Amino acid sequence: MAVKRNGNGGEARATGVEPRHHEVGAPERTPHVVPITIDVSNDFAGGVGGFFERWRSLLTGLGITGRRALGPATTVRYPREKVTLSPRWRGALRLRGVLGRDDIPIVSGPPTGYNALIEGLYRDDRLPPCVGNCPANVDARGQGYFLGEGKAPEAYELVRERNILPGVLGRICHHPCETACRRNYYDEPVAIRPLHRYAYEEYAKVAKERLAPFPVTREERIAVIGSGPSGLAAAFDLLQLGYRVSCYEKETKPGGALYSGVPSYRLPREVLHDEIDNLVALGLELKLGVEVGTDVPIDYLLGEYDAVLIAVGLQESRILPVPGHDAEGVTGALPFLRDANWKGDAGVKGKRVLVIGGGNVAVDVARCALRTGASEVRLACLEGEEEMPCHPWEIEEALDEGVIAMCSLGPEEVLVDEAGSVRGMRMRECISVFDEAGRFAPQFGENYTEIDVDMVVFSVGQAPVLADVVAGSDISLTERGLLPVDGTLFTTAQEGVFASGEVVTGPGSAIASIATGHEAAISIHRYLRGEDVAADRVARPVPVYAKYQPATLEGVEDQRRRIGMPMARPEDRAKDFRQVELGYTHLEALDEAARCLRCQSEVCVGCTFCARTCPDYAIEVERIDDPGARTVTHYELDLTKCCFCGLCAEQCPTDALCHTGQYELSFFHRDLAIFDRHEMLRPAEGTRATGRDAAHADAPSGGEGR
């Protein structure tokens, strides 16, 4: 293309088109010819002159290169970094493990190292959500594995390491493990709590054969004041560590609030006492009918024992100081429940009862009132229907039995007749319970309601009674009668004295109290060993997991659904204290245990969620669920269909299915691109996925490894 210079030192085409650089903005139309100002000519002159020009150019370039080579480096040297493949690498899929060949990991360890174990598993993303969301970190996954294999006693003993009363908690626990169960994402959570109960019922058949005292390997002795869940948990751990432990209980029966407060329609007393008897068989010394501070001063315990744990719980009900609160017929929840549980008569036959409160204890009071003969039972609370602090299933069962719920109402005045007895209750409309910051700050409206009742039961909180317990000692209480306690280490200002349970945390769940007992036991052990109670100690982990929107059950097969708990009929059970939940049969328990996905185990359990997720139908999975012989019998991946989208691996609840760096896919026959169970279990090394033409020494002849 011929190019010529213009008058301004620029260039223009031979066509004579003038440059348009002086124009502002875009041209009205795209020109057919655009001026070019680049000279691409690099020819040298001919002859001898051109020869010397070429050599001069070459020497000039060599000179520049030499000067640059002798000068300082102008590049930046970066540190050596190891190149790693992303976990989302889309190489050919493989399985890390498979049910029937590989064991499910069991979360088990000594009390002193359990927190570190849980912390390590959580850090490595190997902690099942059900285990992490439990305050005591009970291995629910291991329970499901053992039950599915027909090993109920082993399942019970595994659970008992952290939940020292599986039969009890199998009936009353609020089961936060099920809230975190990953199966919520697919259909319904595994029934972990009912499986605790089943494991206990099977263990009870062989308990005498499996119970033996823990060996005593240490000289120190520990006294536990209170036989509730927290004190028993601490005692169990200390027995395992080789100490002698004595438990003091002021009542003639052990169990603390489990015995006096939880109604027997939820917790049969024979179950509670049987499990505590098992702890006695393991070495616990139980001293019943001995009230510390009255029968035995606490200073005596401090002199006789090397450490003392105060785990007396909450023993007093709070009653709101509204007008008329001291009238005949007004009582608190705890004394009401004691009468109902111990006597079977709370003085409400033929009476109309109003329960003030919206928590689980209030619901228990209301249901007990029905069972002890009340003609009408109402439950009034500040919260709205969707805000009630009680567990949803508790209030549903109460409503089925005939309790009348009255929400968004607060107590204003107890109406009293001329004889000084309750004749009614004046309630005020509650507009909101909490302020914008989430603090308890109820706001009331102008509307009032009067309810005709004969008895009012306040269930608005509990408090500890410690003055008698610490009487005559150097242990001091606060102005409110509370014991100052380090809420992490569970130590008190008095050397050798520790505390745990609701006396520290306030009202809560039984499993949360058990968790504090485990922590107190670690502090006592460190103290007795002369170690710093806090130094290098791993605090109880508090893992955080995703919360799932309840899955739609439309189209879910019956065999995938949770097995419902058989219940006594509401019209029958409200008449007495018979068990409300009837429990699982043997086959129901096995089927429910088989629903456990064994999350984070890196072992394929044949759940088929990968096959269900695959958009190309490239995966086939089959398994056998026979107890003691559960196995994945068939796993097939067709690479001719696989689009390497990775959805299956992301869906895998156990993390057994994963992509590899084996991206070389060179097969000479279509059959080699269909990976069977054995090929899916191939090693992850190398870059080539070879299919069945990669002969393994242990591969059975004729195809699949079984």
Side-chain-side CA neighbours of 352 within 13 Å: the count stands at 10
Integer Cα distance of 95 and 684 in angstroms: 9
What tokens were used for 619?
Answer: 């995966």
In a shared domain, residues 179 and 113: yes
| CATH code assigned at 111 | 1.10.1060
Integer Cα distance of 588 and 566 in angstroms: 11
In a shared domain, residues 118 and 191: yes
What tokens were used for 88?
Answer: 């989302």
pLDDT of 282 higher than 50: yes
Integer Cα distance of 585 and 588 in angstroms: 5
Please report the pLDDT score of residue 11 as a whole number.
45
CB 422 within 8 A of CB 330: yes
Higher pLDDT, 559 or 410: 410
| CATH code assigned at 512 | 3.50.50.60
For 7-27, b where at least 16 C-beta lie within 10 A, e where not — what string? Answer: eeeeebbeeeeeeeeeeeeee
Extended strands (E) in 397-454: 404-406, 409-416, 422-434, 440-451
pLDDT of 18 higher than 80: no
Average pLDDT over residues 405-434: 93
In a shared domain, residues 353 and 310: no
pLDDT of 44 higher than 80: no
In a shared domain, residues 336 and 432: yes
Indicate the burial class of 564 (C-beta count within 10 angstroms; 0-12, 13-18, 19 or more): exposed
Confirm whether 409 is domain-assigned. Answer: yes
In a shared domain, residues 190 and 227: no
Higher pLDDT, 316 or 627: 316
Local confidence band at 42 (pLDDT 50, 70, 90 cut-offs): low
Please report the pLDDT score of residue 481 as a whole number.
86
pLDDT of 148 higher than 80: yes
Please report the pLDDT score of residue 13 as a whole number.
45
> H-helix or E-strand containing 223?
strand 221-225
What residue type is assigned to position 369 of the chain? A
pLDDT of 679 higher than 80: yes
Domain count, the chain: 4
The least confident of 75-84, 226-235, 507-516, 565-574 is 75-84
Confirm whether 649 is domain-assigned. Answer: yes
Kindly state the percentage of the chain with pLDDT values over 90: 67
Confirm whether 18 is domain-assigned. Answer: no
pLDDT of 7 higher than 60: no
pLDDT in tens, 641-658: 998 888 999 999 999 999
In a shared domain, residues 457 and 320: yes
Please report the pLDDT score of residue 47 as a whole number.
79
The least confident of 155-159, 566-570, 655-659, 670-674 is 670-674
Please report the pLDDT score of residue 695 as a whole number.
44
Higher pLDDT, 679 or 628: 679
In a shared domain, residues 510 and 630: no
Q: What is the pTM of this model?
A: 0.83
What integer best gives the mean pLDDT of the chain?
88
pLDDT in tens, 429-481: 999 988 888 888 889 999 999 999 999 999 998 999 999 999 888 888 888 88
What residue type is assigned to position 371 of the chain? R
In a shared domain, residues 328 and 414: yes
Confirm whether 81 is domain-assigned. Answer: no
Average pLDDT over residues 598-625: 93
Domain final residue, candidates 447, 463, 479? 463
In a shared domain, residues 417 and 321: yes
In a shared domain, residues 195 and 229: no
Integer Cα distance of 693 and 687 in angstroms: 15
CB 587 within 8 A of CB 150: no
Please report the pLDDT score of residue 35 as a whole number.
59
| CATH code assigned at 627 | 3.30.70.3270
> Count of residues for the chain?
706
> H-helix or E-strand containing 307?
strand 307-310
What tokens were used for 75?
Answer: 């590049």
pLDDT of 19 higher than 70: no
In a shared domain, residues 273 and 302: yes
Kindly state the percentage of the chain with pLDDT values over 70: 89
Local confidence band at 627 (pLDDT 50, 70, 90 cut-offs): confident
CA dist 476 → 226, 249, 369, 463, 497 (Å) = 19, 22, 39, 17, 12
* H-type alpha helices, 173-327: 176-180, 192-203, 207-210, 229-240, 257-260, 269-281, 298-304
Confirm whether 72 is domain-assigned. Answer: no
- Give the residue numbers spanning the domain of 387: 316-463
Please report the pLDDT score of residue 544 as a whole number.
84
**Three-point CA angle 358, 360, 365, nearest 5°:** 85
Q: What is the Cα 361 distance to its own chain's centre? A: 24
Taking each helix axis from N to C end, the angle separating 586-594 and 140-148, rounded to the nearest 10 degrees, works out to: 120
Average pLDDT over residues 545-552: 76
Local confidence band at 87 (pLDDT 50, 70, 90 cut-offs): low
The least confident of 109-123, 163-177, 463-477 is 463-477
Confirm whether 3 is domain-assigned. Answer: no
Higher pLDDT, 83 or 557: 557
Confirm whether 70 is domain-assigned. Answer: no
Higher pLDDT, 342 or 546: 342
Please report the pLDDT score of residue 426 as a whole number.
96
In a shared domain, residues 636 and 659: yes
Average pLDDT over residues 238-264: 95
pLDDT of 383 higher than 80: yes
Confirm whether 357 is domain-assigned. Answer: yes
